Every structure is written in C-alpha cells, then in structure tokens.
Amino acid sequence: MKISARLPSGPWRSPLRGPWLTSVFGLVLLIGIPVLFLTGLLSYAAYNPDLSPVNDKTPDKGLLGFYLFSWPTRPYWLYRVNQGVHVTLGIVLVPVLLAKLWSVVPKLFTLPPVRSVGHALDRLSLLLLVGGGIFEFLTGILNVQLDYIFPGSFYPLHFYGAWVFFGAVTAHVALRLGRTWRALRGRNVWAELRTSRTGTRPEPPDDSGLVSTHPAAPTMSRRGALGMVGLGSLALFVVTAGQSLGGPLRRTALLAPHGRSPGGGPGGFPVNKTAGYARIRARDVDDSWQLVVGGRDGARVTLSLDQLRRLPQHGAGLPIACVEGWSTENQHWEGVRLADLAGLVGYDTDPPGVFVESIQRGGAFRAAALRDNQVRDPRSLLALRVNGAVLTPDHGYPARIIVPNAPGVLNTKWVGRLTFGATTAGGHA
Ligand SMILES: Nc1nc2c(c(=O)[nH]1)N[C@H]1C(S)=C(S)[C@@H](COP(=O)(O)O)O[C@H]1N2
Ligand SMILES: [Mo]
C-alpha cells in the first residue's frame, strides 16, 4: 500500500502521463532554459547597468551582478543575435513549458501536502520552480508584446526572478536528473513515435506520482501529444522569428508588436516610439534646434544642424536591435563621430563615456549613458542621415545616436544634449 498512497487519485486520468513523457519535455527545457538565462544575463551587461540610474535601474545588483563586464562594441551584430535568441526561444518554449506543467499537474496537488522535512523542501523548490517559471515567461511576454506595461520596473522583476527561477531549476535538475535519465532510457523514442492512439498504453505503475492508477482510454497517442506541442512551438517560431531575422520574413512575424511592414524608402525600417508618441513638436526640431555639447572642466559648445553637417561626416552600416527582440537589418547611417564631438570639448584623445539627453520631455528612454569604449568606436555616430536621406521624424530627426552592438534603447533619438564625462544630468563620472 506504500506505493498506492503516492499515486494520483482524483481527476488526473490521462494514460499519457508518466515519467517518460515528463522527461522528454523536461529535457527540452533543460537545454532551452540555460540558453535563456545566459542570453538574459548578457542582455543586462549590454545595458551598461553600472551607469545607472539612467540605464538599467535594477537596484542592488552588487551580488547578483558579480558577472557584469564592459560590454564590447564588436562584433556589431552580437546583441542583435543575443536578443533575437532570447525572445524567440522564450516564446517558442511556451508550449513545452505548458505541456511539462500539464504532465506533472497531479504532483502539484498531492495530499498530504507535506510528509517530511525532505518532502517539504522538495515542494518548496517546486513552488519556486513553477512560480518562478510562470513569472519569468509571463513578465517577458507581457514586456515584448505590450511594450513596458511595468514602467521602469520590468528589469528588476525579470532580473531577480531569473535568479530565483534558475536557482530552482538547478536544484530541480540536481534532484531529478537521475530519474529523468532512467525514464528516458526506459522507453524507445522511435518506437513511441510509431505508436498510434490505439496502441497507446499507460506507463508502468511506479512511485513517481505521475502514472494514473485508474487511467482513462487514450484520446491521443504520445506521438500525438509530442506532435501537438512541437507544432505549437513551430507555429510560434514562424510568427515570431521574422521580427529578428528581417528581410521578407518580417511579413510572417504576426506576433511582432513593431514594424511588420515598416514601409519603403530610406526610413523604411521599424519604429519603436514615434515622434508623435514622444510628443516631439515641429517647433522643437525647426531651425532653432541646437545641440549642446558639454565636456572637460565645464567646456561647452553649441552647434546648429548646419554646423554639425559641416563637421567631418562618417558612415556605418549598423542595425537597431531592441531588447524586445525585434531588430532591423543593417541600415547605412551617416553623421558625426562621437569621438570627434568629444574632441570639441577638451577630449582630443581617450574620450570618456557620454550622457545623452533627448529633447523629448519625459518618457522612460529620453536619456541614456554610453561607456568610453562605445564613444571611442569609430562607428559610433551622432547620425544625421540614414540610407542616403535626412532622418525621418520617427527615426529621430534632426540627430540620433547609433552605436555598434548596443541595445536599441541606448540609441537615443531627437538628441539635444551630450555631456562627455558624465553619467547623469549635471553629474560627472
Ligand atoms: N528619445 C528617445 N529615444 C529612443 C527611444 C525613446 O523612447 N525616446 N526608444 C529607444 C528604443 S527602446 C529603441 S529600440 C530605439 C528604436 O529606434 P527606431 O524607432 O528608430 O527603430 O530607439 C531608442 N531611442
Ligand atoms: Mo527598445
């Protein structure tokens, strides 16, 4: 009777549930979740969090941010790939996550809830695992689909949640890897994929708590269940990946919140916040517009658009890659090197980082801080033109930042002020 006390009674009667099916879903997540964790951590490093409070505002990263490093400017496409993988994989794994939860659902409702100290710890780790997983996937998806419904707080939530979730995943893997491995070896996957519904039998009774004691007749085969989940993931991939891969595939990105058909011409690539959304008025960017550049020992230079155009112009082919996963193909930007602008205010060599402010009043992303390595890269520009034409209003006319291998959020549009050697308004590094 010892065994039957651990077996699910109650409404859970699917004959498909069992250690093998759970382990197959678990194996996919075991490969996918570390990739999500790693690309997520890299994404934080890329946001220059040590230049808070303007960039990533997550407080107390001291302990959890032990790994942070100076994010490089090359290869210029790395952030685009990193974020495309993070967001696309996160979305594609949703059906697998749901299937895994479905497969273990009887375990989440076992009675009595706690049998021993060991069992209590095991259940607590499951709570953090299931809760943490749902929390991470939900905050991530809400963020990419509804753009920042948690103003300013998405980053800390998703960052702290990631550590809790990954800690629970690690504990879970340590506790279950042996059992998973045995379960996977216990059945032949190819034989399983050849078994139709009528040939489908429950897994043998065991003490896993997953196999039903009074299984119902199968309504689908394991092959069918795996196929349904696989097709779900494939469908999500097809309607998501185009937003990062770009080209003609952009049209297939039905789930992409931005720029599925961004139009043609030089400004024909996706826009995050439009000039209208940012409440940029025509008179803010007419002939009265000026760029204020601050620098060493209070040096200050004011430049009109004509004066900027008379400075040496340089080009760079760079994408915009948003933290939300969508990105553009390389665009050809032209403008003034950030390093040259630093040279106008006392930093002829080895310029420091720069604090960039938009003329936009308010809004989460009106300012950003760049590191010295970003300022020094010859491809880092205050861009005045893109693809052979003056910037469109939505892409930041009269001037915007473009930096290689940086998250889109650092490419400030409608720039009004640059302060070299500062990381906050009025502050100095
Ligand atoms: N002033 C200002 N600059 C901004 C933003 C903003 O909201 N305001 N959004 C940033 C974000 S999050 C991204 S992804 C890029 C998008 O650039 P694009 O709209 O030209 O594609 O602009 C960045 N620059
Ligand atoms: Mo972004």
For residue 324, report the distance from its CA to the centre of ligand 2, in Å: 6
- Can you tell me which atom of ligand 1 is nearest the CA of 396? 20
Q: Please report, rounded to a whole number, the percentage of residues in the chain having pLDDT higher than 70.
A: 95
Which of 62-66, 76-80, 189-193, 226-230 is least confident? 62-66
Output the average pLDDT for the chain: 92
- Can you tell me which atom of ligand 1 is nearest the CA of 269? 21
- φ/ψ of 360, rounded to 5, equals -55, 135
Give which of 97, 89, 94 is closest to 43, Cα–Cα: 89
**Could you tell me if 223 and 247 are in contact, meaning their C-beta atoms sit under 8 angstroms apart?**
no
Cα 239 to the chain's mean position, in Å? 17
Last residue of a domain, one of 235, 252, 269: 252
280 lines ligand 1 (CB under 6 A): no
For residue 102, report the distance from its CA to the centre of ligand 1, in Å: 39
Which pLDDT belongs to residue 145? 81
Residue nearest to atom 24 of ligand 1 (CA): 412
pLDDT of 264 > 60? The answer is: yes
Question: What would the mean pLDDT of 304-325 be, rounded to a whole number?
Answer: 97
> Domain for residue 308, yes or no?
yes
> Domain for residue 3, yes or no?
no
List, for residues 90-146, the tens digit of each pLDDT value: 999 999 999 999 999 988 887 788 889 988 888 888 899 999 999 999 999 998 887
80 lines ligand 1 (CB under 6 A): no
> Domain for residue 221, yes or no?
yes
Site to probe by mutation for ligand 1, drawn from 154, 273, 386 as the one with most ligand atoms within 8 Å of Cβ, is 273
258 lines ligand 1 (CB under 6 A): no
Residue nearest to atom 15 of ligand 1 (CA): 408
371 lines ligand 1 (CB under 6 A): no
For residue 401, report the distance from its CA to the centre of ligand 2, in Å: 13
Segment of 52-56, 126-130, 390-394 carrying the highest mean pLDDT = 390-394
Which pLDDT belongs to residue 299? 97
Q: Which residue has the tokens 């952009």?
A: 250
Find the domain containing 388 and state its range: 282-420
Same domain for 204 and 301?
A: no
Helix (H) or strand (E) holding 223: helix 222-240
409 lines ligand 1 (CB under 6 A): yes
Which pLDDT belongs to residue 1? 40
Residue nearest to atom 19 of ligand 1 (CA): 271
For residue 142, report the distance from its CA to the centre of ligand 2, in Å: 14
Which pLDDT belongs to residue 427? 64
Question: What would the mean pLDDT of 260-270 be, rounded to a whole number?
Answer: 86
- φ/ψ of 393, rounded to 5, equals -55, -40
Give the max Cα distance, the chain.
88
> Domain for residue 101, yes or no?
yes
- Can you tell me which atom of ligand 1 is nearest the CA of 270? 21
> Domain for residue 217, yes or no?
yes
Q: Is 371 helix (H, G, I), strand (E, B) or coil?
A: coil
> Domain for residue 258, yes or no?
no
Same domain for 239 and 328?
A: no
Same domain for 248 and 364?
A: no
Same domain for 373 and 310?
A: yes
> Domain for residue 270, yes or no?
no
State how far the Cα of 151 lies from the Cα of 278, in Å rounded to an integer.
15
pLDDT of 81 > 60? The answer is: yes
Q: How many domains does the chain have?
A: 2
**Could you tell me if 21 and 225 are in contact, meaning their C-beta atoms sit under 8 angstroms apart?**
yes
List, for residues 6-21, the tens digit of each pLDDT value: 444 567 899 999 999 9
**427 or 219: which leads in pLDDT:** 219
For residue 62, report the distance from its CA to the centre of ligand 1, in Å: 28
Same domain for 137 and 240?
A: yes
Same domain for 310 and 416?
A: yes
408 lines ligand 1 (CB under 6 A): yes
Give which of 241, 228, 233, 186 is closest to 208, Cα–Cα: 186
Tokens encoding 153 = 């707080």
**Could you tell me if 337 and 255 are in contact, meaning their C-beta atoms sit under 8 angstroms apart?**
no
Same domain for 169 and 291?
A: no
pLDDT of 5 > 50? The answer is: no
- Can you tell me which atom of ligand 1 is nearest the CA of 359? 1
Which CATH number belongs to the domain containing residue 368 in this structure?
3.90.420.10
List, for residues 334-373, the tens digit of each pLDDT value: 999 999 999 999 999 999 999 999 999 988 889 999 999 9
Question: What would the mean pLDDT of 271-293 be, rounded to a whole number?
Answer: 95
Residue nearest to atom 20 of ligand 1 (CA): 395
Question: Which residues have CB atoms below 5 A from the ion given as ligand 2?
Answer: 322, 408-409
> Domain for residue 378, yes or no?
yes
169 lines ligand 1 (CB under 6 A): no
Q: Would the pTM of this model clear 0.85, i.e. be above it?
A: yes
270 lines ligand 1 (CB under 6 A): yes
Same domain for 109 and 238?
A: yes
393 lines ligand 1 (CB under 6 A): no
Which pLDDT belongs to residue 151? 58
Site to probe by mutation for ligand 1, drawn from 47, 272, 405 as the one with most ligand atoms within 8 Å of Cβ, is 272
Which pLDDT belongs to residue 235? 97
pLDDT of 2 > 50? The answer is: no
Same domain for 90 and 128?
A: yes
Confidence label for 152 from pLDDT (cuts 50, 70 and 90): low
pLDDT of 4 > 50? The answer is: no
